[in-house]
């Protein structure tokens, strides 16, 4: 009876203790706030660290899991700090007995009984050293073991272990002392990081290298004692130098990282960037900036056309310089002529123009505005293909007049682009064709990706944890193909006539832009797989005389393509509805020509010959030309070639474009067909 009663009382006592422990666990759960208050990390598509940020209390505290560190580090850590970590329940009674015996025998502490679980508890809730603190840490260690797995407890220690100064955790220390992830640690490096937390300030390698080396060598000796490393490894590791200084934390894509970190503080932000490409193109930007005597900035964005993800983002070329923290990839600037491909694409899609359509590059006044080409000259009648390749201004303005500036802006907005307009501009200005509406490099890249994808547009993605927006078709495949076909055959800039075969055959469609006053130089190019946009200039808009987009930005675009992975270099087959013609005369009548129309404010109107007339002539017979209205002397052109006087003697038969221009630059034109009288 006494034994039965004793057993019953014992069971009740155990049940009571278990109930009390469970109640205390619920009432006083572990405080994980320090562990959860970590540095914001921005990582690339494969999880490589691009940039990290200190916590609110100024600590580098990077999340570190068991999978983030080299197995040799974990083996040395357990051998040195807690050999029975994988077996005990948070408190190691054998270690406690050993520590007590050594204290009694030697009168001083020889080895501690603190387990990794107890150290994790201490790091979560730092307290002054005392027997009560040790008891609380022991209870917390048991609580951690009850609630979490061994891997999770290790993650707490690996993230919070003090590493000297404001460094906490193994990853932060590995970057600061060795410039790499802890998965890549050598034996000597792993041993040093095991040693530092025992006395983080006294063993800081950048300030106390001798003490750090002593601590490291003790860890190595323990590893050799337990068979974790052999004699050659021990000798090699012991002879490795101690790092003498702290390194800067990774600083890749700093502008983008700062923007994303502001959206998700304390989190790990996964991006679509590719570390190798980001590093290679950042180096290219740095090298190119050294060539610029005036210290201009360079911004670059590169997008994978297939996924819509940004793979490289360089918001400027001097992050710590004057205005260096302005993210120029997202800053609105005047694109100059860089939007012209979109204007022509819409005109192609309307079946109002074709690459072989004839357009008149003549002096034309639009109300009180007289646009001119960069060289202040005009080329007369040219094909749309040539007008776009040569970036002629008047033809682009005429095309925008046909498309409609407000409709053009509406299409850009539907694509996710928000052009900036001057305060007095309601969106009806034809100056949009020449850069009066500002866009960012990121937005321009988005538009060119849409062209590369056959007219389907979607905002680019930069966060890997967000879905790609559904593309919207705003331009037909044939129109997009026409633009790519034109731009891919544009003349190369000086110095690039003999491209490497891999780059020359990549078939890059490109366009440049230069804003008024040489403030902004642009280069944009796209291939089947990649789109690259480069902006060069001063953030404050200081002019750079003579620095055209073709000179300052386009060469960087081609060099960037030279650093991108290869792709299928074959040109995409034309869509089924692409119209192949030998010349503008083979086009449907409404697509054959585009020219200035008579202006409502007194521009000249052709009286003879009438529009679309068929005129029968004998050999060497002349046609009298007449017009009404206009100011000053009237000048006549046939197919862009000026005439002397008011009579025209056709050289042969077929269609011809007859135009008249007055001294104010206003004009009108008609198309006629010449046939020979039988």
Which residues participate in catalysis according to the annotation?
81, 337
CA nearest to 637, candidates 357, 629, 627, 584: 627
Q: Output the CA angle 315-305-522, nearest 5 degrees.
A: 40
Please give the Cα distance from 487 to 386 (Å, whole number): 10
Residue 107 backbone phi and psi in degrees, to 5? 75, 10
Please give the Cα distance from 147 to 50 (Å, whole number): 33
CA nearest to 268, candidates 36, 459, 34, 32: 36
Q: Specify burial of residue 53 (Cβ count, 10 A radius: 0-12, 13-18, 19+).
A: middle
Collapsing DSSP to helix, strand or coil, 521 comes out as strand
Q: Specify burial of residue 18 (Cβ count, 10 A radius: 0-12, 13-18, 19+).
A: exposed
How many CA atoms lie within 13 Å of 329's alpha carbon, on the beta-carbon side? 26
Please give the Cα distance from 423 to 639 (Å, whole number): 40
CA nearest to 18, candidates 179, 204, 198, 142: 142
CA nearest to 442, candidates 269, 255, 251: 255
CA nearest to 518, candidates 469, 472, 492, 551: 551
CA nearest to 547, candidates 534, 531, 563: 534
Where are the extended beta strands (E) located within 315-454? 358-361, 380-383
Strand partners, 41: 52, 268
Collapsing DSSP to helix, strand or coil, 628 comes out as strand
41 alpha carbon, distance to own chain's centre: 17
Please give the Cα distance from 185 to 170 (Å, whole number): 11
277 alpha carbon, distance to own chain's centre: 10
Where are the extended beta strands (E) located within 562-625? 593-594, 605-608, 614-617, 623-624
| Alpha-carbon separation of residue 576 from 473, 477, 479, 484, 573 (angstroms) | 17, 9, 12, 16, 9
Please give the Cα distance from 316 to 303 (Å, whole number): 17
Please give the Cα distance from 296 to 536 (Å, whole number): 7
Please give the Cα distance from 651 to 654 (Å, whole number): 10
Cβ proximity of 145 and 89 under 8 Å: yes
Task: Scan for tokens 């046909």, then name that residue.
Answer: 402
Q: 141-173: buried (b, 16+ CB within 10 Å) or exposed (e) per residue?
A: bbbbbeebeeeebbbbbbbbbbbbbebbbbbbb
Per the rule left: phi > 0, alpha: psi between -120 and 50, beta: everything else, 639 is: left
């Amino acid at each position: 009876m006494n034994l039965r009663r004793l057993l019953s009382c014992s069971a009740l006592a155990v049940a009571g203790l278990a109930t009390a422990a469970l109640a205390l666990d619920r009432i006083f759960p572990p405080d994980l706030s320090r562990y959860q208050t970590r540095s914001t990390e921005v990582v690339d598509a494969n999880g490589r660290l691009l940039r990290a940020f200190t916590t609110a209390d100024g600590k580098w505290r990077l999340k570190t899991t068991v999978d983030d560190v080299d197995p040799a580090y974990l083996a040395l850590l357990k051998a040195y700090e807690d050999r029975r970590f994988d077996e005990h329940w948070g408190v190691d009674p054998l270690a406690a007995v050993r520590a007590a015996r050594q204290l009694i025998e030697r009168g001083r502490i020889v080895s501690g009984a603190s387990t990794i679980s107890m150290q994790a508890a201490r790091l979560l809730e730092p307290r002054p050293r005392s027997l009560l603190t040790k008891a609380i840490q022991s209870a917390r260690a048991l609580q951690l073991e009850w609630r979490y797995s061994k891997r999770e407890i290790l993650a707490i220690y690996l993230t919070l272990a003090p590493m000297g100064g404001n460094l906490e955790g193994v990853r932060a220390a590995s970057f600061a002392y060795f410039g790499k992830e802890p998965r890549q640690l050598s034996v000597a490096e792993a041993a040093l990081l095991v040693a530092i937390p025992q006395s983080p300030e006294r063993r800081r390698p950048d300030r106390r290298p001798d003490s750090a080396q002593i601590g490291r060598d003790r860890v190595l000796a323990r590893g050799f004692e337990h068979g974790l490393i052999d004699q050659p490894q021990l000798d090699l590791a012991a002879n490795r130098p101690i790092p003498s200084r702290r390194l800067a934390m990774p600083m890749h894509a700093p502008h983008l990282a700062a923007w994303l970190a502001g959206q998700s503080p304390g989190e790990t932000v996964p991006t679509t960037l590719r570390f190798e490409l980001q590093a290679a193109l950042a180096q290219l930007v740095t090298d190119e900036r050294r060539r610029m005597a005036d210290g201009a900035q360079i911004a670059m964005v590169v997008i994978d056309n297939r996924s819509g993800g940004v793979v490289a983002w360089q918001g400027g070329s001097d992050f710590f310089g004057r205005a260096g923290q302005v993210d120029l990839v997202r800053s609105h600037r005047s694109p100059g002529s860089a939007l012209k491909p979109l204007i022509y694409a819409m005109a192609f899609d309307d079946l109002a123009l074709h690459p072989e359509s004839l357009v008149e590059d003549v002096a034309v006044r639009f109300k009180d505005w007289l646009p001119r080409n960069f060289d202040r000259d005009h080329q007369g009648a040219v094909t749309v293909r040539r007008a776009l390749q040569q970036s002629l201004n008047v033809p682009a303005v005429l095309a925008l007049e046909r498309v409609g500036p407000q409709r053009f802006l509406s299409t850009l907005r539907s694509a996710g682009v928000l052009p900036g307009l001057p305060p007095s501009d309601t969106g009806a200005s034809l100056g949009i064709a020449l850069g009066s509406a500002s866009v960012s490099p990121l937005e321009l890249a988005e538009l060119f990706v849409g062209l590369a994808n056959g007219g389907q547009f979607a905002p680019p993605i930069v966060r890997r944890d967000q879905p790609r927006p559904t593309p919207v078709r705003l331009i037909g495949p044939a129109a997009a193909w026409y633009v790519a076909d034109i731009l891919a055959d544009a003349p190369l800039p000086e110095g690039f006539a003999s491209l490497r075969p891999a780059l020359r055959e990549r078939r890059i469609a490109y366009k440049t832009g230069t804003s008024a006053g040489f403030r902004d130089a642009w280069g944009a190019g796209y291939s089947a797989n990649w789109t690259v946009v480069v902006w060069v200039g001063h953030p404050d808009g200081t002019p750079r005389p003579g620095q055209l987009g073709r000179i300052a930005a386009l060469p960087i675009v081609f060099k960037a393509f030279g650093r991108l992975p290869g792709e299928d270099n074959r040109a995409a087959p034309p869509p089924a509805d692409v119209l192949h013609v030998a010349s503008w005369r083979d086009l449907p009548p409404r697509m054959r020509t585009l020219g200035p129309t008579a202006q409502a404010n007194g521009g000249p109107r052709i009286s003879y010959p009438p529009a679309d007339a068929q005129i029968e002539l004998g050999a060497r017979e002349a046609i009298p030309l007449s017009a009404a209205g206009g100011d000053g002397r009237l000048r006549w052109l046939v197919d862009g070639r000026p005439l002397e006087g008011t009579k025209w003697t056709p050289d042969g038969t077929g269609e011809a474009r007859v135009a008249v221009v007055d001294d104010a630059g206003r004009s009108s034109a008609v198309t006629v067909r010449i046939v020979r009288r039988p």
